[in-house]
């Protein structure tokens, strides 16, 4: 990590905490930055982050993985099926293995047979959805505690850790409500409160990916398959093998994400993924096909999900709307400085509308709550994606000896 | 120099593709420590032969011997192991990678499990210093121009310890002073004892650099000459390549008429950040006039052409005859009789996965013979494609093959044929003969000259300075989006023009 990079990271974190802090102060809603909220956000963020990481592996090797959702579904099923019978760690392994099968399927279709990658991925999504529904009826209907659409409870728990010595004083500090300081305290305490071993594994997988893909010869070759496979081939890189390895590992990561979901809700349930594979894909794009940015995007989604789900008295939704407005104003300001007048006006007007809504309404229908954060995300994505640098040969079918 | 040691010997090489024999009974002997040129027309089989030598394709028959021992190559790695390196015509570089990453890919220095960036940097700067190839290893390739990219390709090969270098049409994309630099590099490499195989159809260049020249015609080797001991001219070589005597392309007299066909005033094109790529230029072209624009690639040529065709947003006014077309659509402009030969034929001019006759319709889909009223007329298009194939000597088994099946030069002939169809009033052409061999080049020039005789106005952009000087009636030099000099094609030399293009001095 260079000096410049770490400075940018600290700057971004500082800005994010400041915006959160302002929102928390105006709304007077301590939940926005509380220990529990952050801890829960990590739980919601991890499966999305794993899906995003899975996307990075496949697409860095030049294979678009629209099938992430399907591979996650396979993972949720594997975890429920094996976890119910042989315990939670068997569930994790089965989730990874099932995901790997999904990945292998995509690799065979997209790499060996050169099938259009969007179509192959979509087929895997449909196949996984139908297959797991069918198998659930077949395997879980008569099982004790199971049903047509859900597995019996998974046996055992993943260990979680709480560092009392950090969490207690920081949580106390959070409750004092001091601008910035208390919010920072709540955020940090949340990282060490009921921290699941799976979340730690997720974090380590991100570190490992950064190292493997960007610091080793293996990573350079894998990425060359996504940038210019013909050049890689001309230098003796076995492109097909790297693509296979990347796509299968991508499936394993997505499967792990699915297993995480099932374990977090203690059972396999039809439709438990609820599009998280696609959200993972979006965070990968948001993160410019890099682990750091992808993790940040996943945490953002996890945070929004958390606020929506632990909402009491409709206050969090109001908070989110204000948060969205502040972000829009911030982007509008940046646009103004860059002399992009039209976009700036757009952002400022939208921000004003949201501010107006915040102050005029006492409560919001939950539908607004569900949509508002995503609209904000979409706008952030739209601005961020101006400078993205996707792998140059992402999605391009590769045949040995073709081209030039 | 070690004499009579054969670095490469190919004997009796045959390669057949469905419907085509690419190589038949090729015999080639390359002496170690020399620059050996291989010349031939487009589609003569040069590239196939080099792919066989580099292990990318397998010969059906014949043997390959390197330094006296017979080897079988089943992949480029085998060839690399035997000390052969290839600099491809289309650069094989990953744009989003740094120079260092591109060079070490596939043979990375490692320490532990990690890629040893420090060692790689050291090795690259050592090799670069030894051979006078200066590069910054940490810059992204996407930020580099063609000359630098080619140096990286050569470094890639040297980094792998190659003793035999294959360069596939290395000068096609270079401006004159870059060609001189390349040739100096090649002479240095030769001094280091390396063997260079140099593929080209630019015969003057071949004569200036090669120690031995082998000519390929219609897939087979027809002879070798040594320019040091034998008297050979470019013309002799060309006749060996083509197999008969060449027509002499001569410029014809003044054909310029009074009628102004294209009038451009204060044209500007801006990049995303607001920087002017084309900076407030004005010019006009009269009927029967060819206006040539000289300039190093990337100085705004592509943007001018795209702006004139209505593809790129621009400010300023463009008049076609008396009509203001500044705000008109590309289709409207084409229907007025503006033909367009773009810079990048695969990106802008052709659908690679469509048959030739469908490509014939592109851009002319609303006009005879491609359509009848509302409906397309495939029969008419097919008949006219056959005419183009015949008149422009497009080498193809049929008009139903995909455009991607043609060699680059033949694709270009098809495009030129298409754009010269339907009696255009104005032709906007970038590199009309790029990648085309001498025989076909002369034919394309003749087509353009004949049309000019009939009143065609031409805006010509070309990296081939002889072509610019030979064809143009008026020459302007473009540098950083502005015209910086005018030149008289009757008196200016390529060297003077090349100097003016880099901004070093004014042209005559």
Does residue B230 carry a pLDDT above 90? no
- What integer best gives the mean pLDDT of chain A? 88
Q: What is the chain A residue with the closest CA to B91?
A: A231
Q: How far is B55 from chain A (nearest CA, A)?
A: 9
CB B19 within 8 A of CB B397: yes
Q: How far is B226 from chain A (nearest CA, A)?
A: 31
The β-bridge partners of B292 are B460, B475
Of the candidates B54, B94, B156, which has its C-beta nearest A227's C-beta? B94
The β-bridge partners of B9 are B29, B65
Residues listed for chain A: 404
Of the candidates A217, A228, A236, which has its C-beta nearest B92's C-beta? A228
Structure tokens given for B241: 């390549």
The answer to whether the CB atoms of B88 and A223 lie below 8 A apart is no
Mean pLDDT of A195-200: 96
Which residues from chain A sit within 8 angstroms of residue B115, using beta carbons? 215-217, 219-220
Which residues from chain A sit within 8 angstroms of residue B56, using beta carbons? 234, 401
pLDDT in tens, B184-219: 889 988 988 899 998 887 788 888 889 999 998 888
Lowest average pLDDT, out of A63-67, A259-263, B436-440, goes to B436-440
Does residue A383 carry a pLDDT above 50? yes
Structure tokens given for A17: 């905490």
pLDDT at site A280: 93
The answer to whether the CB atoms of A227 and B104 lie below 8 A apart is no
Of the candidates A220, A228, A392, which has its C-beta nearest B108's C-beta? A220
The answer to whether the CB atoms of A404 and B90 lie below 8 A apart is yes
Lowest average pLDDT, out of A104-113, B228-237, B249-258, B345-354, goes to B249-258
CB A378 within 8 A of CB A325: no
Q: Which helix (H) or strand (E) holds B128?
A: helix B117-131
Does residue B467 carry a pLDDT above 60? yes
pLDDT in tens, B315-358: 898 999 888 988 889 988 988 889 999 887 777 889 988 899 89
ipTM, 2 dp: 0.85
CB neighbours of A271 closer than 8 A, spacing ≥ 6? none
CA distance linking residue B104 with residue B84, whole number of Å: 16
- Name the pairing type of β-strands B220-225 and B212-217: antiparallel
Q: Who has greater pLDDT, B272 or B229?
A: B229
Question: Torsions phi, psi of B70, nearest 5?
Answer: -75, 130
Of the candidates B56, B77, B93, which has its C-beta nearest A401's C-beta? B56
| Burial bucket for residue A8 (CB in 10 Å: 0-12, 13-18, 19+) | exposed
pLDDT at site B2: 44
Which residues from chain B sit within 8 angstroms of residue A404, using beta carbons? 88-90, 92
Pairs across A and B, CB distance < 8 A = 75
Which residues from chain B sit within 8 angstroms of residue A389, using beta carbons? 96
Residues listed for chain B: 508
CB B479 within 8 A of CB B501: yes
CA distance linking residue B350 with residue B357, whole number of Å: 11
From residue B425, give the alpha-carbon distance in Å to each of A83, B208, B340, B428: 76, 40, 11, 10
Report the phi/psi class of residue A237: left, alpha or beta, with left for phi > 0 and alpha for psi in -120 to 50.
Answer: beta
The answer to whether the CB atoms of B108 and A217 lie below 8 A apart is yes
From residue B176, give the alpha-carbon distance in Å to each of B134, B181, B203, B493: 19, 9, 14, 12
Q: Give the 3-state secondary structure of residue B1.
A: coil
Question: Torsions phi, psi of A364, nearest 5?
Answer: -120, 145
CB neighbours of A337 closer than 8 A, spacing ≥ 6? none
Q: How far is A341 from chain B (nearest CA, A)?
A: 14
Q: How far is A236 from chain B (nearest CA, A)?
A: 5
CB B29 within 8 A of CB B9: yes
Q: How many CB atoms lie within 10 A of CB A169?
A: 12
- What integer best gives the mean pLDDT of chain B? 85
Q: Which residue has the tokens 């196949």?
A: A127
Mean pLDDT of B93-110: 92
Structure tokens given for A136: 């659930």
Mean pLDDT of B57-61: 88
Q: Which of B91, B206, B79 lies closest to B154, judged by CA?
A: B91
CB neighbours of B163 closer than 8 A, spacing ≥ 6? B7, B83, B193, B194, B195
Mean pLDDT of A292-320: 82
B298-B304-B305 Cα angle (round to 5): 100
Does residue A340 carry a pLDDT above 70? yes
Fold entry, domain A32-310 = ABC transporter involved in vitamin B12 uptake, BtuC (1.10.3470)
Of the candidates B56, B95, B113, which has its C-beta nearest A392's C-beta? B95
CB B400 within 8 A of CB B394: no
CA distance linking residue B450 with residue B431, whole number of Å: 18
Q: Which residue has the tokens 């989006």?
A: B481
SS (H, E, C) B246-303: CCCCCCCCCCCCCCEEEEEEEEEEECCCCCEEEEEEEEEEECCCEEEEECCCCCCHHH
CA distance linking residue A95 with residue A107, whole number of Å: 18
- Name the pairing type of β-strands B35-40 and B212-217: parallel
- Chain B residues within 8 A (CB-CB) of chain A? 54, 56-57, 75-77, 80, 86, 88-90, 92-97, 101-102, 104-108, 110, 113-115, 156, 160
Taken in order of first residue, the domains within chain B and their CATH numbers are 6-242 (3.40.50.300), 257-337+460-508 (3.40.50.300)
pLDDT at site A308: 78
Q: Which residue has the tokens 């773009």?
A: B342
Q: How many CB atoms lie within 10 A of CB B242?
A: 18
Q: How far is B151 from chain A (nearest CA, A)?
A: 16
The answer to whether the CB atoms of B105 and A220 lie below 8 A apart is yes
In DSSP notation, B61-99 reads EEEEEETTEEE--SSHHHHHHTTEEEE-SS----TTSBH
pLDDT at site B248: 44
Mean pLDDT of B138-154: 87
CB A48 within 8 A of CB A72: no
CA dihedral for B185, B188, B194, B199, sign (positive or negative): positive
CA distance linking residue B210 with residue B204, whole number of Å: 10
In DSSP notation, A153-184 reads PPSS---EE--HHHHHHHHHHHHTT-TTHHHH
Does residue B177 carry a pLDDT above 90? no
pLDDT at site B225: 87
Question: What 8-state DSSP symbol labels residue A269?
Answer: B
The answer to whether the CB atoms of A235 and B86 lie below 8 A apart is no
Which residues from chain A sit within 8 angstroms of residue B80, using beta carbons? 235-236
Q: How confident is the model at residue A2 (pLDDT cuts 50, 70, 90)?
A: low
Which residues from chain A sit within 8 angstroms of residue B90, using beta carbons? 404
Does residue A336 carry a pLDDT above 70? yes
Q: What is the chain B residue with the closest CA to A239?
A: B106
pLDDT in tens, B26-35: 999 999 999 9
Q: How far is B394 from chain A (nearest CA, A)?
A: 19
pLDDT at site A8: 79
pLDDT at site B506: 45
Structure tokens given for B96: 């989003």
CB neighbours of B380 closer than 8 A, spacing ≥ 6? B368, B369, B370, B372
| Burial bucket for residue B20 (CB in 10 Å: 0-12, 13-18, 19+) | middle
CA dihedral for A299, A302, A308, A311, sign (positive or negative): negative
The answer to whether the CB atoms of B80 and A227 lie below 8 A apart is no
pLDDT at site A102: 97
Q: How confident is the model at residue A315 (pLDDT cuts 50, 70, 90)?
A: confident
Mean pLDDT of A112-139: 95
Order across the sheet with B69-71: list the strands. B20-31, B6-17, B61-66, B69-71
SS3 content of chain B, % helix, strand, coil (to 5): 35, 25, 40
Q: How confident is the model at residue A197 (pLDDT cuts 50, 70, 90)?
A: very high
Q: How far is A120 from chain B (nearest CA, A)?
A: 21
Q: How far is A238 from chain B (nearest CA, A)?
A: 9
Q: How far is B7 from chain A (nearest CA, A)?
A: 21
Mean pLDDT of A114-142: 95
- Chain A residues within 8 A (CB-CB) of chain B? 215-217, 219-221, 223-224, 227-228, 230-237, 389, 391-392, 401, 404
Q: Which residue has the tokens 């001018």?
A: B304
pLDDT at site A254: 98
Mean pLDDT of B137-153: 87
Q: What is the chain B residue with the closest CA to A236?
A: B77
Percentage of the residues of chain B whose pLDDT score is greater than 70: 94
């Amino acid at each position: 990590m260079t000096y410049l990079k770490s400075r940018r990271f600290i700057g971004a974190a500082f800005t994010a905490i400041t915006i959160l802090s302002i929102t928390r102060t105006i709304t007077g809603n301590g939940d926005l930055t509380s220990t529990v909220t952050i801890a829960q956000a990590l739980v919601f963020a991890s499966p999305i982050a794993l899906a995003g990481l899975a996307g990075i592996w496949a697409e860095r090797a030049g294979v678009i993985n629209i099938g992430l959702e399907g591979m996650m579904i396979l993972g949720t099923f594997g975890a429920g099926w094996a976890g119910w019978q042989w315990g939670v760690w068997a569930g994790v392994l089965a989730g990874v293995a099932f995901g790997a099968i999904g990945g292998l399927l995509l690799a065979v279709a997209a790499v060996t047979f050169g099938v259009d990658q969007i179509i192959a991925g979509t087929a895997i999504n449909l196949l996984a959805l139908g297959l797991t529904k069918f198998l659930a009826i077949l395997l879980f209907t008569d099982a004790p505690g199971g049903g047509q659409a859900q597995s019996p409870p998974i046996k055992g728990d993943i260990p979680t850790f709480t560092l009392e010595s950090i969490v207690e004083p920081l949580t106390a500090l959070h409750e004092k409500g001091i601008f910035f300081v208390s919010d920072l305290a709540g955020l940090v305490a949340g990282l060490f409160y009921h921290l699941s071993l799976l979340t730690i594994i997720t974090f380590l997988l991100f570190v490992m990916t950064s190292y493997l893909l960007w610091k080793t010869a293996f990573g350079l070759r894998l990425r060359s398959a996504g940038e210019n496979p013909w050049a890689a081939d001309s230098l003796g890189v076995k492109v097909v093998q790297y693509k296979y390895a990347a796509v299968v590992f991508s499936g394993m990561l997505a499967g792990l994400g699915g297993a995480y979901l099932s374990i977090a809700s203690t059972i396999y349930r039809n439709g438990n993924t609820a599009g998280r594979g696609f959200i993972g894909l979006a965070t990968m794009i948001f993160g410019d096909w890099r682990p750091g940015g992808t993790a940040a995007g996943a945490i953002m989604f996890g945070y929004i999900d958390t606020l929506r789900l632990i909402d009491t008295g409709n206050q969090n939704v109001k908070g989110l709307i204000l948060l969205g407005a502040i972000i829009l104003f911030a982007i509008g300001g940046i646009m103004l400085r860059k002399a992009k007048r039209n976009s700036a006006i757009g952002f400022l007007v939208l921000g004003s509308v949201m501010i107006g809504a915040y102050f005029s309404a006492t409560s919001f229908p939950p539908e607004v709550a569900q949509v508002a954060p995503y609209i904000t995300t979409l706008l952030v994505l739209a601005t961020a994606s101006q400078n993205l640098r996707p792998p140059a040969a992402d999605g391009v079918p590769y045949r040995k000896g073709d081209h030039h | 120099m070690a004499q009579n040691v054969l670095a490469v010997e190919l004997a009796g090489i045959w390669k057949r593709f469905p419907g085509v024999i690419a190589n038949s009974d090729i015999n080639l002997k390359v002496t170690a420590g020399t620059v050996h040129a291989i010349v031939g027309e487009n589609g003569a089989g040069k590239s196939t032969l080099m792919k066989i030598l580099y292990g990318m394709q397998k010969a059906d028959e014949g043997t390959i011997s390197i330094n006296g021992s017979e080897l079988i190559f089943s992949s480029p790695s085998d060839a690399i192991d035997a000390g052969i390196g290839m600099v491809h015509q289309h650069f094989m570089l990953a744009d989003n990678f740094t120079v260092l990453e591109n060079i070490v890919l596939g043979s990375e220095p490692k320490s532990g499990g990690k890629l040893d960036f420090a060692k790689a940097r050291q090795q690259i700067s050592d090799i670069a210093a030894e051979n006078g190839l200066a590069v910054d290893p940490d810059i992204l390739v996407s930020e580099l121009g063609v000359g630098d990219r080619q140096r990286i390709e050569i470094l890639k090969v040297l980094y792998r310890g190659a003793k035999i270098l294959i360069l596939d049409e290395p000068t096609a994309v270079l401006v004159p002073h870059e060609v001189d630099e390349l040739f100096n590099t090649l002479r240095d490499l030769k001094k280091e004892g390396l063997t260079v195989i140099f593929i080209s159809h630019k015969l003057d260049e071949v004569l200036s650099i090669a120690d031995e020249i082998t000519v390929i015609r219609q897939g087979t080797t027809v002879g070798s000459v040594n320019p040091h001991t034998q008297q050979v001219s470019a013309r002799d070589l060309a006749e060996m390549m083509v197999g008969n005597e060449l027509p002499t392309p001569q410029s014809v007299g003044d054909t310029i008429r009074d009628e102004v066909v294209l009038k451009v005033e204060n044209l500007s094109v801006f990049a995303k950040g607001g920087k002017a790529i084309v900076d407030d230029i004005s010019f006009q072209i009269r009927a029967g006039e060819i206006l040539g624009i000289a300039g190093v690639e990337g100085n705004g040529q592509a943007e001018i052409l795209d702006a004139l065709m209505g593809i790129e947003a621009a400010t300023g006014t463009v008049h076609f005859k008396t009509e203001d077309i500044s705000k008109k659509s590309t289709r409207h402009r084409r229907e007025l009789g503006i033909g367009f030969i773009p810079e990048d034929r695969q990106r802008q001019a052709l659908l690679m996965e469509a048959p030739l006759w469908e490509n014939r319709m592109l851009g002319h889909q609303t006009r005879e013979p491609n359509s009848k009223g509302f409906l397309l007329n495939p029969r008419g298009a097919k008949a006219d494609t056959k005419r183009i194939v015949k008149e422009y000597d497009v080498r193809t088994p049929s008009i139903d093959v995909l455009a991607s099946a043609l060699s680059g030069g033949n694709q270009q002939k098809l495009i030129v044929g298409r754009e010269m169809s339907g009696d255009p009033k104005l032709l906007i052409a970038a590199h009309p003969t790029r990648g085309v061999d001498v025989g076909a080049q002369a034919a394309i020039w003749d087509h353009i000259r004949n049309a000019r005789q009939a009143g065609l106005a031409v805006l010509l952009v070309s990296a081939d300075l002889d072509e610019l000087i030979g064809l143009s009636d008026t020459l302007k030099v473009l540098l950083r989006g502005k015209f910086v000099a005018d030149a008289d094609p009757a008196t200016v030399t390529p060297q003077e023009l090349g100097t003016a293009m880099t901004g070093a001095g004014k042209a005559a």
